[in-house]
Amino acid sequence: MEHLKQLIEHLAWADERTLGALDTLPTTDPKIVGTYAHVLGAEHIWLTRLQGKAATVGVWPMLSLAECRRLAAENAAGLRAFVASLDPAAASGGVTYTNTAGITFTSTAHDILLHVCLHGQYHRGQVAAAVRAGGGNPLPTDFIAYTRGGASATRSDRTILRTPEARFARLPDYPFEPHYVSIDGIRLHYVDEGPRTGEVVLLLHGEPTWSYLYRKMIPILAEAGFRVIAPDLVGFGKSDKLSRREDYTYAFHVDLLKQFVTALDLKGVTLFGQDWGGLLGLRVAAELSNRFARIVAANTGLPNGQGKINPAFFQWREYSQSVPVFSAGKIVHKGTVNGIDPAVAAAYDAPYPDETYLAGARAFPMLVPTEPDDPAIPANLKAWDVLRAWTKPFLTAFSDQDPIMAGGERIFQKLVPGAAGQAHHTITGAAHFLQEDRGEELARLITGFIRANPA
């Protein structure tokens, strides 16, 4: 039974990966989507046969991408529940059903489940080939890639921790309603403020902060008429945490953020990325370029394994691994010009009741690619290929007192075509966490940038 559960988890993972690949197509091709809708329709039909219910979807249904996503989630939940409740003896029991040609058969539940798991592989290969031919980015869905823990959020053996909600009571200046989305059993928290019809501004935080970092910017952007979305990365803020450091990889976070963007069906997005928010966000924007309209890079980069790394970064990395008590509040305090109040520092520490919750925060500094043979470098180089051809508006907003990222804006200004002619801005009187030092100024800068560059 454990093997069947693993196969069902792989199936759910592969479905999500294929949907993510379809989202990378420059334009939606109904024929390619139709091929994949067949996979989901077949899963639905076999699941209803196992459940003794009537199917509500045909073998070759005409579905939109959004409808495919909903059906994939329903199939995954139904198959997981069925296998979890299946007695080993019942797995060899007969299930009688009538196929689409009107012929009655009896098969074991075990054989039906194996068929469901194997049937989609052929068609997913067809979709991957079509995505590549259509200019998209096909994502590997091999079983061995899943078992190796590749770029996937779906790993049932991961231990998930959830910070008690009481830790977030009475946070200063953070009145925002929580929103959650579940991606393969991992819950992501995000702030969603402003009119739903407004242009989307996606604010991505870095290490070791969370969406609390954007509390000064969110109200200004929302009042300007934008839909402001600020997620917490897995391992941070109100999002779930994974207990093992080895479960955090660069590819894992890119994959999760891509699924987040597609799950919310975000389009015409203006990205603001700082620190890891840029390392991740620039990858996501490059791999889902049809969903992004503009980019603002602030105190961030996209390492390609070729440039020189600031020695200050290695000092920070050594500190992050050796400090006995890892305090996010203390780190943010030191990374600002004038420091932060104790209550604000406590808000940054709130996600971490004890060291077991800090696996992600401890892991992140070690994930920055600093050598040419780092496993993240090939994907980063592909992202740079996209950025070197990026003609959509690209703005830099680096601070004047960041010891690690100083001068990093020149790389983007030189290499990204969309940066030409933009009103690049240096945020004065700000250190690494410029959202704390000059958040209001940043919000006004983003507002002006969007209005000066209408989609």
Q: What is the pLDDT of residue 153?
A: 41
Q: What is the mean pLDDT of residues 436-452?
A: 98
**Quick check: 156 pLDDT over 80?**
no
In a shared domain, residues 94 and 242: no
In a shared domain, residues 65 and 132: yes
User: Each residue of 71-96: pLDDT tens digit?
Assistant: 998 998 899 989 888 887 777 888 99
In a shared domain, residues 272 and 409: yes
Q: Which of 136-140, 262-266, 340-344, 345-349 has the lowest mean pLDDT?
A: 136-140
152 in any annotated domain? no
The answer to whether 245 and 359 are in contact (CB under 8 A) is: yes
Cis peptide before 208 (omega within 30 of 0): yes
Q: What is the pLDDT of residue 420?
A: 97
- Identity at 357, one-letter amino acid code: Y
Q: What is the pLDDT of residue 147?
A: 66
**Quick check: 103 pLDDT over 60?**
yes
Percentage of the residues of the chain whose pLDDT score is greater than 70: 97
Q: What is the pLDDT of residue 154?
A: 44
Distance CA 335, CA 332 (A): 5
154 in any annotated domain? no
In a shared domain, residues 385 and 438: yes
| Nearby residues of 439 by Cβ (< 8 Å), 6 or more positions away | 214, 215, 216, 217
Domain limit, last residue, from 121, 147, 173: 147
Q: What is the mean pLDDT of residues 130-136?
A: 82
In a shared domain, residues 229 and 319: yes
Phi and psi at residue 126, to the nearest 5°: -60, -45
Domain limit, last residue, from 119, 147, 175: 147
pTM of the entire predicted model: 0.72
| Nearby residues of 73 by Cβ (< 8 Å), 6 or more positions away | none
Q: Between the CA atoms of 381, 404, 214 and 194, what dihedral angle is there, to the nearest 10 degrees?
A: -40
Catalytic residue among 205, 253, 333, 432: 432
DSSP 356: G
How many C-beta atoms surround the C-beta of residue 87 within 10 A?
A: 10
Distance CA 245, CA 358 (A): 9
Q: What is the mean pLDDT of residues 332-359?
A: 96
Percentage of the residues of the chain whose pLDDT score is greater than 90: 71
The question of whether 240 is a catalytic residue gets the answer no
25 in any annotated domain? yes
Domain limit, last residue, from 79, 112, 147: 147
249 in any annotated domain? yes
Find the helix packing angle between 276-287 and 250-263, rounded to 10°: 60
30 in any annotated domain? yes
Q: Between the CA atoms of 53, 73, 12 and 207, what dihedral angle is there, to the nearest 10 degrees?
A: -160
Q: What is the mean pLDDT of residues 426-431?
A: 97
- Identity at 172, one-letter amino acid code: P
Q: How confident is the model at residue 148 (pLDDT cuts 50, 70, 90)?
A: low
**Quick check: 54 pLDDT over 70?**
yes
**Quick check: 39 pLDDT over 90?**
yes
Q: Would you call 93 helix, strand, or coil by DSSP?
A: coil
CATH number of the domain that residue 199 is part of? 3.40.50.1820
Catalytic residue among 275, 333, 425, 437: 275
Full domain range(s) for residue 250: 160-452
Q: What is the pLDDT of residue 157?
A: 61
Q: Distances from the Cα of 135 to the Cαs of 21, 169, 230, 409, in angstroms?
A: 11, 47, 29, 29
In a shared domain, residues 179 and 114: no
419 in any annotated domain? yes
The question of whether 38 is a catalytic residue gets the answer no
In a shared domain, residues 445 and 313: yes
Average predicted confidence (pLDDT) for the chain: 91
Distance CA 429, CA 90 (A): 68
In a shared domain, residues 123 and 202: no
In a shared domain, residues 110 and 209: no
Q: How many domains does the chain have?
A: 2
Q: What is the pLDDT of residue 151?
A: 44
In a shared domain, residues 273 and 394: yes
Q: What is the mean pLDDT of residues 327-337?
A: 97
Q: How confident is the model at residue 9 (pLDDT cuts 50, 70, 90)?
A: confident
Q: What is the mean pLDDT of residues 243-252?
A: 90
155 in any annotated domain? no
In a shared domain, residues 47 and 95: yes
The question of whether 402 is a catalytic residue gets the answer yes
Q: What is the mean pLDDT of residues 423-429?
A: 97
Q: What is the mean pLDDT of residues 422-451?
A: 97
Candidates 242, 248, 208, 215; CA nearest to 230 is 215
DSSP 232: P
**Quick check: 381 pLDDT over 90?**
yes
In a shared domain, residues 168 and 138: no
Q: How confident is the model at residue 69 (pLDDT cuts 50, 70, 90)?
A: confident
Catalytic residue among 23, 247, 402, 437: 402
11 in any annotated domain? yes
Find the helix packing angle between 2-22 and 250-263, rounded to 10°: 70
Q: What is the pLDDT of residue 260?
A: 93
Q: What is the pLDDT of residue 99?
A: 87
CATH number of the domain that residue 77 is part of? 1.20.120.450
Q: Quick one: tokens of 219?
A: 């109200």
